[in-house]
Amino acid sequence: MSDGISDDAEDVVGVLTERIEAHFGMDMNQLKAAVAAAPTANPDATDIVKWHGLLVQAQLALDRAEDDLLAALETQPSEVDGPTMGLAHRVNAAVTARDGRAMVVRWLLDPDAPGKKNLAAERLARLRPRTGPAVQTSAPHRAAGTPAPASAWRAGRPVR
């Protein structure tokens, strides 16, 4: 944008695009084409392409909202009217949406981000075939003389 309101913010999309391209070793158009050709081949790439697209859409919505607000402010007398204030709220909402999507893209790019280790383990577990039931289907064998389980206790005394 030429108005200067979000020149720094627009760089967020550019910086994240550069980080994505460096991470995957290809430009965004190549990455989008690769994901479109094989969407399940690399779940991380698929997620990044999806959220990058959402980030770009949010930036475009923010640009339009800022342009509308600036146009309204140019015609305003010294006090801002209700509709113009509504446009200012629209800009704030667009900034929030864009920043939230940028945070998701940053998280997706960070292999050490909180929650990532568990996510990778979950994905691996989904890919591995199970060899048995997910939960124990029969009661465990108890050797003679071993104490009863806690569920056998009533009012602090064992059931005999």
Domain count, the chain: 1
Mind listing the pLDDT tens digit for each residue in 75-87?
877 788 888 899 9
pTM of the model: 0.67
Q: Is residue 155 part of a domain?
A: no
Band of pLDDT at residue 137, cut at 50, 70 and 90: low
Q: Is residue 157 part of a domain?
A: no
Q: Is residue 95 part of a domain?
A: yes
Mind listing the pLDDT tens digit for each residue in 83-110?
889 999 999 999 999 999 999 999 999 9
Give the residue numbers spanning the domain of 52.
7-124
Q: Is residue 32 part of a domain?
A: yes
Quick one: pLDDT at residue 112?
87
Give the count of beta carbons closer than 10 Å to the beta carbon of residue 47: 15
Q: Is residue 143 part of a domain?
A: no
Q: Is residue 140 part of a domain?
A: no
Q: Is residue 109 part of a domain?
A: yes
> In degrees rounded to 5, what are phi and psi of residue 26?
-155, 160
CA distance 120 to 140: 32
The mean of the pLDDT values for the chain is 81
DSSP letter string, 76-110: --SSPPHHHHHHHHHHHHHHHHHHHHHHHHHHHH-
Mind listing the pLDDT tens digit for each residue in 5-17?
445 555 899 999 9
Q: Is residue 89 part of a domain?
A: yes
CA distance 58 to 93: 10
CA distance 154 to 138: 24
- Token digits for 39? 């969407």
